[in-house]
A and B are shown apart, each in its own frame.
Chain A
Amino acid sequence: GAGVSQSPSNKVTEKGKDVELRCDPISGHTALYWYRQSLGQGLEFLIYFQGNSAPDKSGLPSDRFSAERTGGSVSTLTIQRTQQEDSAVYLCASSAQGALPSYEQYFGPGTRLTVT
């Protein structure tokens, strides 16, 4: 079946512009995660959605970052007034049993964001 998909695969934007990144999780997966990897850094947790529960936003680096998940499926990560330090690869992952840490996550191919 289809895996996790993300769009766009690459995005170049000017500093100060807003961007939207999209994630389509695996059908039926209740949990959805956003991570990012900045140059030379590890994978950094951003936000987590589980079913209809309120999302865990504890990893969002600033109030310029927000995310939503519509209908328990597709998610959009929005970055407002982008800064150069926002340049990174943004990864989305979904999991069948997201609340339990013993279930593996399935990652999308990522969106490479470059802020000029």
Chain B
Amino acid sequence: ILNVEQSPQSLHVQEGDSTNFTCSFPSSNFYALHWYRWETAKSPEALFVMTLNGDEKKKGRISATLNTKEGYSYLYIKGSQPEDSATYLCAPPLEEKLTFGTGTRLTIIP
């Protein structure tokens, strides 16, 4: 059974501050790691799909790193803005199915 853990479960960050959170997963049989952002009343939206150990991807103020040998990925947000408030989900695939963590709920305080 694949165990995906995300921490912290929730986070409050002052607008303008930077933050990061973690996704941990079993490192064996790794294929790829997905990060999704899920805003309230909207659909989950893909941020990154990462496949290689040491991968680092960036989209605007958001970036992610991947360590497949030790089984973790970090998501970083630089200069948080109110629109960053959302639940951030990571998902390593188990066979052909994404196995989602419970997410980190991020709230940006204006």
CB < 8 Å neighbour of A107 from B45, B49, B96, B101: B45
* Chain B interface, >50% SS class: loop
* Stretch of A11-19, A38-46, A66-74 with 4 or more beta carbons under 8 angstroms from chain B: A38-46
Contacting pair A4 B98 (CB below 8 A): no
- Bound form: Cα–Cα A88–B69 in Å: 35
- Bound form: Cα–Cα A110–B43 in Å: 7
What is the interface residue range for chain B against chain A?
20 to 34
* Interface residues in A79-115 (C-beta closer than 8 Å to B): 91, 93, 98-99, 101-110
CB closest chain-A residue, reference B48 = A104
Expressed in whole angstroms, the minimum distance between the Cβ of A95 and any Cβ of chain B is 10
Binding site for B on A (CB under 8 A): 3-4, 33, 35, 41-45, 48, 50, 56, 58-59, 91, 93, 98-99, 101-110
